A and B are shown apart, each in its own frame.
Chain A
Amino acid sequence: MVLRRIALVLLAWALPVLWGCAALLFHHIAGDWGAWHWLAVVGWTLAVAGVSVTLSGRMVADTFRRLLAEWTDGSLQGRRQPPYAVAHLATSTWGEHYDPLTAGLLRRSEEWVVRLLPTWRETFWLLIAPVLIPLAVVLPPLRDLLSAVAVRLLGPSTADLLGSRVESLEKGRTDLTRAQQTELYRLERNLHDGAQARLVSIGMTLGAAEALVDRQPPQAKELIGQARESSHAALQELRELVRGILPPVLVERGLADAVRALALDVPLPVTVHGTITRRLEAPLESAVYFAVAELLANAVEHAEASGVRVTFEQDSGRLTVVVEDDGRGGANPQSGSGLAGVEERLGWFDGTLRISSPRGGPTRAVVEVPCA
């Protein structure tokens, strides 16, 4: 793939040179030329150069992006956004004047334009690169300059950055709505099959007891006892449910103590270090809590660890929670739903989950979220 691209680029750049050489050769053979002929040859060469460079510019720029990746540590990444992103939203919202055929053609052609043609910045880069790169190779101090220029001209533009941001927010919003709906279904189902059903049975049992209380007091007493047991079970179920929605300790004490409380319930020695000086926003707090809960559950379930260490670190604008176990490693977000869910949920808040878990261990998971 890369080879083919490089070949194409070389070809595109060689074309005008070939034409130039051909003109010179012609000149050599045909002898003296008038100014008119010269003009035609130069013009023709420039035209070929223009077209071929324009058509290959995109690929040349992309190839440079890849080649320079090492020098500019990743700052050239970022996808170029099609310019129709907003138009697309607009047309699909105000449907009255929406003409799918034209819109489709327009979008398709815009897509090709974006895919094929270089931007002004890329063109500018193409103009100066042939000078700058050899210079930088000869004079190593110029490399910093080169990479700065490359970042400026080849890196994503503000519009591109905003575009990808809009895209990721849009995806986040969709995920969030879907997750909320799933959660609501789960709660509805849980209440319906659990506490509600128990309350119905308690009501019925008490009704039966009431009917028996005069004639058969011992049976009535037994029924009342059953009703009491049922109410106990209903409360137990509600408690479990509440714990899954929003653990009470989290509300009462905040994240650090909630994690300490959780750590005590885990059948592994878990030590908790560090403090959180400023309380986070409630939604963020619970996202981090459930992230730690999943990581601890994984350490118990999969790691065969002898202990876990949880560390909090809060600095201006960021909270980091590190969960490390001394187990066998091999954690992989792709092979289950837990870690992927954590990543998604943290993503809603611009948080991240990084996992290092080589085979043979240890596993180190780092949760990072922005916090005011």
Chain B
Amino acid sequence: MRIVVAEDQYLLREGLTHLIRSHGHHVVAAVADAHSALRALRQHRPDLAVLDIRMPPTHSDEGLQLALQIRAERPEASVLILSQHLEQLYARELLANGAAGVGYLLKDRVFNAATFMEAVERVAAGGTALDPEVVSRMMRAEPASSLASLTDREKDVLSLMAEGLSNQAIAGRLFLSEGAISKYTTSIFAKLGIEHNGAANRRVRAVLAYLNSPRAV
């Protein structure tokens, strides 16, 4: 897999490059600012761009803007945004035009190499990786009545679906069988009245559209 890394902090950039390489992937460019990142992305057309959200020149949200721009140019481009802080607002902007090949994670997730690389590979393959922290903020922002019909287990499954995990991955996380998970998902969709759709990343969008959408309570 060919990956471009854009991160202005030297240590983290080196760390990321090293981590990705050690998992057998190819870092075709590791850059430190948004302009070089755009150039590298256009030139290499990588399988995945790992972008820090706050980079020179303005140190605001260039990573996010860059991701939106590159996906507008090339809708199949996969981007993984890393940030020190998470915002539902940014997550929604990133996912507005489809959840396929989009990731948004806290920088700390790098600490756990295995799960982080799992997310990297999922996003590069056209899946979704939404940080558990954003998802839990979305769940917390729900009016109490909206998820009241779900059992605790179903809420766990809903969170993991929103993060972008497939049934198989959810089963792995919760130590359950894939069949059990698929029963849970059917029941969740029925209770919340969400249109069921097989592909994991479409499912993310459906779940997010449900969470925190303005609706009568």
Contact = CB atoms under 8 A, between A and B. Distances in A.
A, B from the same assembly: yes
Contacts of A231: 108, 111
B141 A271 contact: no
Interface string A225-247: 00010011001000100110000
B25 interface: no
A253 B144 CA distance: 30
A137 interface: no
Contact of A265 (B88, B112, B143, B215): B88
B60 A228 contact: no
A261 B108 contact: no
Contacts of B87: 248-249, 261, 264
A280 to B, nearest CB: 16
Given A232-B111, A242-B85, A261-B89, A269 B61 contact: no
B214 A264 contact: no
A231 B110 CA distance: 12
A228 B60 CA distance: 28
Interface string A244-273: 000011011100010011001111110100
Contacts of B88: 261, 264-265
B140 A267 contact: yes
A195 to B, nearest CB: 13
Interface size class of B (residues with CB under 8 A): 20 to 34
B217 A267 contact: no
Nearest to B212: A264
Contact of A267 (B61, B84, B108, B144): B144
A268 B111 CA distance: 34
A242 B141 CA distance: 21
B154 interface: no
Interface in B137-157: 137-138, 140-144
Nearest to A261: B89
A252 B54 contact: yes
A243 B137 CA distance: 15
Contacts of A306: 217
A117 B212 CA distance: 66
B70 to A, nearest CB: 19
B89 A239 contact: no
A318 to B, nearest CB: 26
Given A253-B60, A261-B88, A269 B214 contact: yes
16 contacts: A231-B108, A243-B85, A248-B87, A249-B89, A252-B60, A252-B61, A257-B89, A260-B89, A261-B88, A264-B88, A264-B138, A264-B212, A265-B140, A266-B141, A269-B214, A269-B217
